[in-house]
Amino acid sequence: MNPEIHPDYMECRVTCSCGNMFETRATTSSIHVDVCSSCHPFYTGQQRLVDSTGQVERFERRRRRSRG
């Protein structure tokens, strides 16, 4: 690897729009994100599960009625 072409790797503070902050390492000193693990619905348990089977059945019923 050529040492002159790689950027410096430094301490970085990540700030979320919810107010959560943590430190990591990156090529920039600060990063602002919209969603983090503290506020993302998947991690907080607020995730809405989509019943795709029910949606397909409703679509098929409507399709049969319109043909019929």
N-to-C CA span, the chain? 69
Tokens of 42: 């998947």
Spatial separation of the C-alpha atoms in residues 59 and 26, rounded to whole Å: 48
CA 60 to chain centre: 32
pLDDT in tens, 12-52: 999 999 999 999 999 999 999 988 888 887 767 776 666 66
Instruction: Give me the pLDDT at residue 59, please.
Output: 86
pTM over the 0.85 mark: no
Of all helices (H) and strands (E), which one includes residue 59? helix 52-67
Q: Which of 4-8, 9-13, 48-52, 61-65 has the highest mean pLDDT?
A: 9-13
Q: Between these two residues, 50 and 57, which has the higher pLDDT value? A: 57
